[in-house]
Structures are given as structure tokens and as C-alpha cells.
Chain A
């Protein structure tokens, strides 16, 4: 009788164990498969964009010096020496808007972060935190639309030019990347141990001295990371920029002149060119440059976050 009970108990205990083990292995495999989707996606994305982007040079025989010149004229007929596939003006345009936008947003974003952590943490956070979150949430075409209906006419009426300009693009982008910089800056400044601040105040330093000489300096790698992430966003932003910068194929001479960026050229022309043509492939090469720049920005961030100062 007792034996029977023991046997059946043994069965009950043994059977689920086997089943459990199977479920265990299955769960592990399933999650591993989901996680490897990320690698598969990235690998195929790199492969497809690179193979299309490089075919401009290897299949169509466009030389690098042709591509990296300011001579853009894919529709120029051969008897006039064309077609030209020089994308340098767009590359310069992309870098210009990105760097100028970062120059505006970086001080504002870091300033807002300092305000939230050091000056008025209580109500500063309560107000600025949701504000930055909402700014992130506004879709980029909405920024483009506001730029188009408010900013462009304003520039046209008060500063001159057509309004569609480098300046308009820079202003739109700097608002768009502001929350990115702010939220990362808040995280880094907050991570600085309290005792460092207290040591500074104990030495008789004012709040500004503490902020400028201690907090900003110790959190510099983190702050730079935020700025680089913001720049990565600005460099790849397509529609909002395209709507306000005017899209001329020239290297801009002033802030009020229209320009083109890599993203705006791709946006405007990808749908109007024949798949597989040299013109089309040149656009893919520009997309490949965007991809390489993203990788470069990530490398930069990895280098900066590697060393911590405290």
C-alpha cells in the first residue's frame, strides 16, 4: 500500500520533470531565436544597402572623384559631358545642418538638464520632464509642417531670401534633437555622487562654480554622448528637413540660402528614378553613406563612454 503511494508519487514527480525539461529547452530556444532576429535583420540590412550602394562604383563605373565632387547633374546629356553624380554638396549640407543644430541645442539641452538637477530640481523636473517627453513625441512631419507655415514665411519677411534655407533647417532640427540631449544629460548629471557636490560646496564654492568646474567636467563624456546621439538623429532626419530647406543642389554660401541634404535628395528622387539606373544607384550610395555615418556615430559614443572619470 505504502509502496503503491510511493510509486505513484514517483511517477507524478518524474513525469512532469521530463515535460518541464522540454518546456525549459523550448523556452530558451524560442527566446534565442527572437534575439537573433536582431542580428539577422542588421546583417541583411547592411548587406542589401551596401551591395546597392557600392554598385554605383563597381557596376556603373562612377569614379569616386566624380561622386565626391560638387557637380550634380544626373540628367545632363553625354554630349555636354554628363551625367554627373557629384554628391559632395549634399554631404556638406548634411554636415552643416547637423553641426549647426548641435551648436544651438547642446548648450540649451545641457542648460535645461542642469536646471532640472541643480537649480530647481523639485518643480523643474515636474515641469521640464513632461515637456521634453512631449517634444520627443511630436512627429517629425509636424515639425516640418510648422517650419513650413511659420518659420519659412518669418525668415522670408524679416531676414530676406526665399525663406527656404539652411537657417530654417537648423532651427527645426535643433528643436527636434533638444529632448535627446536633455534627457541623456539629466541621466549623467544625476549619476554624479552627491558627495562630490557637497565637497565642492564645503570648500566655499558657489553653485555656478560647482556646476561649471566640477559637474560639467566630470560628466563631460556623458554629455558628449547625448550631443552625438542628437547629431546622429539630425543627420538622418529626412522629411522635416526636406520640407523647409529648399533643396537646391548648391553648397550654401550663407544661412539664408537653400540647400540640400543627403536625406532630402533621396526622399525627393527615389520614387522618380528607374530602379537599377545609375541615377538610382547613386541615391543608394547616399543611403549607404547615411548608414556608415550612423555606424561612425555609434563608434564615437562607444569610445566616449568607455572611460569613466569617477
Chain B
């Protein structure tokens, strides 16, 4: 075959692949949003799900998803910052460092169901908490932490060398250089990465169903005392999230409008992930502008 003809054919093929993928995403998003937005209204977002009849909402699940995310981030952000700073600034090229790197690699590519089972064994059974938000948050932290460490490390490493050297040359100690000079510069990257990681955690299900459980007790949204059992804030109560709820109603098939409820819940999940994406970009850019102009 003529080389020029082959080149033409290949080019057309590549265009078709690109179109196919764009079409796939538009189809997926279109399907989720069109089907979902028909279901979503204020009532759907705030009422609790029904066990057998139709017309239930996703109120507690929506709250649980966000609350679990907050709890997870309370664990992973400090640890991730510490770990990332260590890897970027203190880690020497030795056995321990390469072992930490291997751990990051393994932990971040573990199947989430394996992490969930580990959580079931350690955080649910050995601690005696039972299915609980706390166990779910710890399990999520297991595979969110390596992600955070990597985000922080990369952000700190991308700080211009001159900036660090200038600070050290002024006689400022290493720790102060890190906290006062490098962290602020690295902040946009850290914020963007953190929000993107949150988006991933938000849609996670397999790790949560074995740790936070698949059901949510009746919540009393006027009781904000974290120690009372019906309080939404109680970290030791079981909680199903949106993603777990979608899986559960589809596999149990107890409620007749499972398809509508899952369509609505899927749309809420996808819209949340889209918002996380936009927020990550916007906030990162905003902080960057604010830090560099002043």
C-alpha cells in the first residue's frame, strides 16, 4: 500500500477513536443527567429512603456522603501533609525511602474491596465499633493517604529552587523555610490535588459497604450532639453513602422505583464530582493569583 494512503487511513482512524470517546462521554453524561434530573427535586434530596414502597429519597445518604468525606479528610490532610513534606524535603535515597515509595504504590493501587475487607477486620471487628462512620473514614484514609502524600510531595517539589535557597541563605531554618516559604507557594497545587482526591473518595463504594455499612439509622436532624445515637454527627453510627445506596437498591430490588432512585442518586453523584472538578480548578487558580500578586 502507498505510504500516503496508509497515512490518510490512519489519520481518519484516529479521528474516529477521538470522536468515539467524546461521544461516549457525552452519551454517558447526557443519559445520567437527563434521567436523573427528572427525578431530583427538593423532596428527593431531603427525605429518607423507603424500605419497600416507592417515593423514597436520599436525604441521609447525601448527608452521610459529605460527612464521611469530611471525616476522611480530617485524617488524611494532616498525615498527607506530613508524609508529603517528609518525602519531598527529608527523605534520603535509602532503603527506608524506597520502601515508603513502594508502600505508596501498593496502597494506591489496591482494589478498594480489599481495603474494605481490611477495614471490616480491623476497624469494625477488632475495635468493636461495629459498622460505623469512623471505620469507614479510616478505611477510606487507607487509600486516600498515599494519594495525598503524592499530591503534597509533587506540589512541594515544583516550588522553584531559588525560592528555597533564598530563604535558607537568609539564615532561616529548614523547618521555617518549609512552613513559611515553600508551603504557601505549593498551596495551589495542594488544594487542587486535595479536592480531586475528594472527588474520588466521594464516589467510592466497595470499601465503605464493609466498614460504614449498608444502612442508615433514622436520623434526627435537630440533634447535633455527636454523642447521641440518633445524631447525624455521631461518628460511631452506621451510615450508607450515596454510592453504596445505589448498589444496594439495585442488587436487593426491594423497592419498585429502584431505577428512578438510582438515576437520581447517580446524577447527584456525577454533579458533585463535576463540581469538585470545577472547584479544584477555580480555587487553585484563585489562590495562585492571590499569592503571586501580593
Contacts and interface: CB of A to CB of B under 8 A. Distances in A.
B73 interface: no
A216 to B, nearest CB: 11
Nearest to A293: B111
A20 interface: yes
Interface string A21-50: 101100110111111111101101100110
B113 interface: yes
Contacts of B218: none
A146 B36 CA distance: 12
Contact of B91 (A35, A112, A237, A291): A35
A266 interface: yes
A238 B117 CA distance: 12
A119 interface: yes
A148 interface: yes
A205 B7 CA distance: 10
Nearest to A229: B109
Contact of B266 (A20, A37, A145, A266): A145
A38 B76 CA distance: 11
Contacts of A135: 24-25, 28
Contact of A140 (B79, B175, B205, B277): B205
Interface stretch (A76-84, A189-197, A207-215, A250-258): A207-215
Interface in B172-190: 173-176, 178-179
B87 interface: yes
B11 A208 contact: yes
B145 A38 contact: yes
A206 B7 contact: yes
Interface residues of A, number: 88
B90 A32 contact: yes
Contacts of A124: 18
B18 A238 contact: no
Interface residues of B, number: 90
Contacts of A5: none
B113 A290 contact: yes
A223 interface: no
Interface in A206-247: 206-209, 211-212, 229, 232-233, 235-239, 242-243
Nearest to A235: B111
B52 interface: no
B204 A139 contact: yes
A119 B15 contact: yes
Contact of B18 (A27, A112, A139, A242): A112
Interface stretch (A58-66, A67-75, A294-302): A294-302
A95 interface: no
A160 interface: no
Contacts of B244: 141
Nearest to A118: B14
Interface in A98-138: 107-108, 111-112, 114-116, 119-120, 124, 127-128, 131-138
Contact of B277 (A44, A133, A275): A133
Interface string B1-37: 0011011011101110110111011001101100000
Nearest to A107: B17
A297 B109 contact: yes
B117 A144 contact: no
B105 interface: yes
Contacts of A209: 3, 6-7
* Closest 5 pairs (CB-CB, A-B): A236-B111, A139-B203, A34-B82, A31-B86, A206-B7
25 contacts: A24-B173, A31-B85, A34-B83, A34-B86, A38-B145, A48-B121, A108-B17, A112-B17, A115-B17, A116-B18, A119-B18, A128-B22, A137-B274, A141-B205, A141-B269, A142-B266, A175-B28, A207-B10, A209-B7, A232-B109, A243-B250, A243-B251, A267-B206, A291-B110, A298-B109
